Amino acid sequence: MKVLPLNPAENASPEALLGFLRQCQSEAREADTEVLVSISITVEAMDPLAVLEAIYEPGHPHFYAEHPSEKTAIAGAEVAMQVSLSGTDRFEALQRWTTGVFARTIAVGSVDAPFGGPHVFVAATFLPEVSAEEPFAALTAFVPCWQVARAGESTTAVANICVGPDSDLEQVSARILRAHTRFGEISYAAPDGPSTPSASPQIRRREAGDFRGRVAEAIGRIAAGEFAKIVLARAIDLETDQTFHPLTALNGLRQRFPDCFSFSIANGRGDSFIGASPERLVRVSRGVLESDVLAGSIQRGSGAAEDARLGAQLLASDKDLHEHQVVLDSVKRRLVALGLEPQHAAHPGVRKLANVQHLHTPVRAALGSEVQLLDTVSMLHPTPAVGGSPQAPAIAAIPALEGFSRGLYAGALGWLNARGGGEFMVGIRSALVRGNRARIYAGAGIVKGSEPEKEWQETELKLNALLEGLLPPS
């Protein structure tokens, strides 16, 4: 990425912008290809979700990710550049694509600000191949035309646009000026069109198959030595008499689950995948990798004493400790295979969310220049926390046992920048929303010692919490 010393906040005249664009076009002509022009400015404090909701267009793809308790959020919409990929080498192919994009990027403005410069947003399904009928491809990545992000008290807005050898620079300049002007003119009036129901909706709920029976079958296959752990999910189809607005529904989720990653990915054709995931797959910042091992669950208590008792029970549970250790060992093996030296505490802690407690072990590793963020995503996804162990036989068994396509459920969702940083979360505690229909997902890890009824209760707890977030009481 080439960074030029132009400050758009101080040189915002059309003449200065045109001069800059002529320079960009000269480079495009020399390379005989289009270049990505990225202009970053710091703006007054904004809520990126409020911005995205105010200018929401169902026909435009968007990506949104937020961690409320960490005071970070990023939103991007409309497409400047994009790619769809599939196959077991999809992350390697994405690395080649992003390297090419950033190599022909010319950036100006607040590039070094938090979330400054162009970002690539990524949504990868659980499996490396999906059918053509699926709403999301096996891997979709795009650079948005605009993005706005908050890190603490800092807010950065970015406009991205392609300039080719024969682009009409007057038209490009006008589009850039309009994009940055609109950040100062955002109207937070109620959006037109559908919204999440304000009155209690009528809900029709349907689930195919017998989850308890599937768990019993999986336990038998574990006993036979086919795999040590497998994660089985439930998919509940909902239909209401009112229409979901995915971003208003997402606001309910982020309020209910402030310690989770709230996310929304829209394909621009009416489908949105939204959720509140407790699990970070990987984050890379300033040469340090972080990953969460989150496996083993128990409900929250109705009071402080009961909550503490349940947390202690979780820490003493042989079944849950075994499930957690399987995931931790797998994550460590995969990172070691990349030449990294993972570090973690000797014993898991308890992470308390709004509705459930998990065994939790944060893992860190120094990241050398020879390993990139997407290398770690490719190696870690899917972890045994959402797939199983050993990986190959467990994942091969999941589609037939579950009886539905996961799509983006338990997929890898995230972003990366031109400096090598980025963050990916695991797409769990999630819903696929379209119009007045939604499919909600939740899963549980099955190991030796699992009991079908307890696993059903665990998934029911997660599903009900998700439903309450999607359809908050009036």
Task: Pick the range with the lowest mean pLDDT from 266-280, 408-422, 456-470.
Answer: 456-470
DSSP state of 343: B
Catalytic hit among 34, 66, 78, 279: 279
Give phi and psi for 48, each to the nearest 5: -55, -35
Q: Residue 8: what pLDDT?
A: 64
Whole-model pTM?
Answer: 0.92
Q: What is the pLDDT of residue 153?
A: 86
Residue 129 designated active-site: no
Check 53, 229, 458, 462 and give the catalytic one: 229
* β-strands 72-85, 154-163 pairing: unpaired
What domains are there in the chain, each with its CATH number? 2-183 (no CATH), 203-470 (3.60.120.10)
Nearest to 184 by CA among 400, 5, 389, 8: 8
Q: Contact at 8 Å (CB) between 8 and 180?
A: yes
CB within 8 Å of 430: residues ≥ 6 apart: 263, 273, 274, 275, 276, 277, 408, 409, 440, 441, 466
pLDDT of residue 18: 84
- What confidence score (pLDDT) does residue 466 get? 86
Average pLDDT score over the chain = 89
What are the two backbone dihedrals, phi and then psi, of residue 300, each rounded to the nearest 5 degrees?
Answer: -80, 155
Annotated active-site residue 279? The verdict is yes
Which residues in 152-198 belong to E strands, given as ranges? 154-163
Q: What is the pLDDT of residues 346-362, one digit of tens each?
A: 999 999 988 889 999 99
How far apart CA 335 and CA 327 sit, in angstroms, is: 12
What was the pLDDT predicted at 193?
A: 45
